[in-house]
Structure 1
Amino acid sequence: MSARISLARPPAASGGYSPDPHGFSNSRPSSGYRAANSDDPRERLRAFAQTVEDNVEIYTQPLKPYLPAIGRFLIVVTFLEDSLRIITQWSDQLWYLQRHRHFWWGFSHLFLLLNVITMLFGSGAVILKKHSEYAVGGLLGVVILQAFGYGLIFDLNFFMRNLSVIGGLLMVFSDSMYTRKKLFAGLPSLSETDRKKYFLLAGRVLLIFLFLGFMLRGTWSIGRAFVSVIGLAACIMVAVGFKAKWSAAFLVIMLSVFNVFINAWWSVHSAHPQRDFLKYDFFQTLSIVGGLILLVNMGPGGLSVDEKKKTY
């Protein structure tokens, strides 16, 4: 019995047995994994991108615990500045609304008061990370209300800048998102993870409109064209979520330098009308920088090329 169940060694191939009778196997011996070709430009670009991404992770590590707070503060700083400007220029604001926008007396006061209260309380709630959902909704309402109230809805530069501010607010909402109980039993609802990745996608796409507005205005030069091409490439990478962390970090540095040199409102005399416009642009750019900082901290989310690469 033991002889029958013992395993016999298979005969040699010459004896009629072939381990691959149909010839499907590779006849060449395998030498393991193929080494990357260091002369291939794509390999060099991939290695460079990986190095930059690793450096972003290393150098932002000490700041990582503080990045959410810094990002949230920078996003709402434009609303804090705007509320302070309305308070300090109250009579001028009333004159403009009543004379040029034809607001009724009393309604113009209510309009300004509503803006100031919403911006102050909404900004404070975002900074403290308290009731962020309602705070973001209130600040979004201010953006829309001012666009119609001041008649700037058809100003392309204003429109693109405010789209970026809305993108920053969506990043705040994604950062502060928490699980909510169903308001109505039996109705389908998105999970927290699903909602977060959709809001992150919308925030990423809207954030880049500030740079698109920069490309469309001003006089062109060789230096401006060079900066525009590099910045546009980084914006596309942020929008699709490809190497999103280091492309967002690059835009943070680029926009910060651009903001200090181009929107230097402190160098303009206080009586000059250009000072207010530069100040407005300066603080709005800070808000977009804050949104990009939150992107560096959180990552691009589920709907991104970076996340899909992890899956496949």
Structure 2
Amino acid sequence: MSSRINIARPRDPTGYSNGPAYGNDPHGFATQSPAYQRSGPVNPDDPIEKIRAYASKLEDMVDIYSQPLKPHLPAIGRFLIVVTFIEDAFRITTQWSDQNWYLQKHRYFPWGISHIFLLLNILTMLGASGAIITKRYSEIAVGSLLGVIVLQGFGYGLIFDINFFLRNLSVVGGLLMVFSDSMVTRKSVFAGLPNLTDNDRKKYFQLTGRVLLIFLFIGVTLQGKWNFARVIFSLVGLTACIMVAVGFKAKWSAGFLVVLLSLFNVLVNNWWAVHDKHPQRDFLKYDFFQTLSIVGGLILLVNMGAGGISVDAKKKF
């Protein structure tokens, strides 16, 4: 979050840092959807058929070996999404005087207003994060954290900073995935009656959430120096991002991005390897926890699927 601005004196503080089940086969291994039932004979030597068969086997293997972890994916995803807000709340608390100094000196907050601003941020981030982790009042908690993002953007003067904007778009995407997940799991007041309004809203929230999730990766590709390894990393990652956005093999591509971003996060944003007094430490820590939040959103996408507005959903009909 934006309170990660490096404001230590005397340095200038303005730098910035699920698809339908078929019978008793819950994973669809025994029964194919109609989209895969072809009318003519299949040529086993066709390269496209070979790729399709290999992808199908790979998906089946991933489903089988990830079974022990699947019940825990929603909880892991929710925690990772809000971890950046929790870290930010503790950061403000431990740097209370420096945060007040920055707001009053550089953002011209009157004395007292800066204290209220910081206290409101701390209480909202901790309270809403706890609600999301415990799956209580998720809709209100998501709205509160969205408000924190906007409030900090204006309060710290970063609302038009491209890095802040792209990263927080991805955080918003993760929060919308939490909102979609709460709509999936909550019980209808009118049991047994279809709720078309909620179903339609869920589809659009899932679509918006998964599209926004990819903006972090776009921001990463726009920064730093280019070399051959980075070109390959960017092309592979952007391909997976496009697959997530359109909802094509969304679970597989989102899982791939989870692995890719996790490796990138540990290797590049290794803030623990930087000296405590080094100014770069705060920037790396900011990037590290925000990337964890995006990984959490992608994990929820792996668990829920792309939703009704996606290529994967259309292939089932």
TM range (shorter): 0.7 to 0.9
CA–CA distance in structure 2, aligned partners of residues 84 and 134 of structure 1? 22
SS at match of 2:48: helix
Q: Relative to structure 1, is the Cα distance of residues 239 and 33 closer, same or farther in structure 2, using a 3 angstrom cutoff?
A: closer
2:253 aligned partner, one-letter code: S
| Distance (whole Å) between structure 2 residues aligned to residue 221 and residue 194 of structure 1 | 44
The question of 1:136 aligning with 2:175 is answered: no
- Which residue matches 1:99? 105
Instruction: Give 1:10's aligned residue.
Output: none
| 2:210 is aligned with 1:210 | no
Q: Give distance in 2, aligned partners of 1:73 and 1:114.
A: 21
Matched residue SS, 2:83: helix
Query: Greater relative contact order: 1 or 2 (C-alpha under 8 angstroms, separation 6 or more)?
Result: 2
Taking the aligned partners of 1:116 and 1:190, their CA distance within structure 2 comes to: 37
Superposed, 1:20-31 pairs within 5 Å as none
Give the match for residue 220 of structure 1: 226
State the alpha-carbon separation in 2 of the partners of residues 141 and 194 from structure 1: 24
Among residues 284, 297, 303, which one is paired with 2:303 in the alignment?
297
Partner residue, 2:170: 164
Partner of 2:316: 310
Query: Retained in 2: the 8 A contact 1:172–1:291?
Result: yes
Counterpart-to-counterpart distance in 2, 1:127 and 1:267: 29
Partner residue, 2:125 = 119
Cα distance per residue 1:287-307 (max 9 Å; x no partner): 000000000000000000000
Does the CA contact (< 8 Å) of 1:208 and 1:239 recur in 2?
Answer: yes
What corresponds to 1:232 in structure 2?
238
Give the drift of 1:81. 0.1
1:54 shift after superposition: 1.7
Q: Which amino acid is the alignment partner of residue 139 of structure 1?
A: L
How far, CA to CA, are the matches of 2:205 and 2:117 in structure 1?
A: 29
- Post-superposition shift, 1:179? 5.9
Q: CA deviation at 1:33?
A: 5.8
CA distance in 2, matches of 1:190, 1:33: 34
Contact 1:52 1:246 in 2 (8 A): no
Among 199, 205, 215, the alignment partner of 1:199 is: 205
Structure 1 length-normalised TM: 0.85
Task: Verify the 8 A CA contact 1:56 1:249 in the aligned structure 2.
Answer: no
Q: Structure 2: how far apart are the matches of 1:104 and 1:98? A: 6
User: Match for 1:221: what amino acid?
Assistant: N
Rounded to whole Å, the distance in 2 between the matches of 1:192 and 1:62 is: 30
Name the CA distance, whole Å, in 2 between partners of 1:67 and 1:151: 36
- Alignment of 1:76 with 2:78, yes or no, is no
Do 1:245 and 1:300's aligned partners in 2 also have CA atoms closer than 8 Å?
yes
Counterpart code for 1:134: I
**Contact 1:53–1:243, Cα closer than 8 Å, also in 2:** no
Taking the aligned partners of 2:203 and 2:187, their CA distance within structure 1 comes to 14
Q: Residue 51 in 1 paired to residue 57 in 2?
A: yes
SS at match of 2:315: helix
> 1:244-279 CA distances to partner (integer Å, 9 max, x unpaired)?
000000000000000000000000011111111100
Which AA in structure 1 matches 2:289? F
Alpha-carbon offset, residue 146 of structure 1: 0.7
User: Paired residue for 1:65, among 66, 71, 95?
Assistant: 71
Alignment of 1:169-180 (within 5 A): 169-177=175-183, 178=186
RMSD over aligned Cα atoms: 1.6
Residues 24-56 of structure 1: per-residue CA shift (max 9 Å, x gap) = xxxxxxxx9643223333222222322232222
Q: Percent identity?
A: 70
Provide closer, same or farther for how the CA distance between residues 107 and 181 of structure 1 changes in structure 2, counting only shifts above 3 A. Answer: farther
CA deviation after TM superposition for structure 1 residue 180, in Å: 6.7
The offset of 1:181, in angstroms, is: 6.6
| 1:190–1:105 CA distance, 2 compared to 1 (3 A) | farther
Distance 2:187 2:150 in 1: 27
What one-letter code is carried by the residue in structure 2 that aligns with 1:247? S
Query: How far is the alpha carbon of 1:190 from its aligned partner?
Result: 5.8
Q: TM-score of the superposition, structure 2-length normalised? A: 0.83
Give matches, 1:219-298, under 5 Å.
219-298=225-304
Matched-pair contact (CA < 8 Å) for 1:71–1:294: yes
How many angstroms apart in 2 are the aligned matches of 1:68 and 1:262?
27
Could you give the per-residue CA deviations for residues 127-152 of structure 1, whole angstroms, max 9, x where no partner exists? Answer: 00000000000000001111111111
Matched position secondary structure for 2:207: helix
Match of 2:28 in 1: none
- Match of 1:176, SS state, is helix
Residues 164-186 of structure 1, C-alpha deviations (whole Å, 9 max, x = no match)? 0000000001111136779xxxx
Q: Structure 2: how far apart are the matches of 1:223 and 1:216? A: 15
Q: Matched residues in 2 for 1:64 and 1:249: separation? A: 12
Alignment partner of 2:71: what SS? Answer: coil
Q: Is the contact between residue 238 and residue 247 of structure 1 (CA under 8 Å) also seen in structure 2?
A: yes
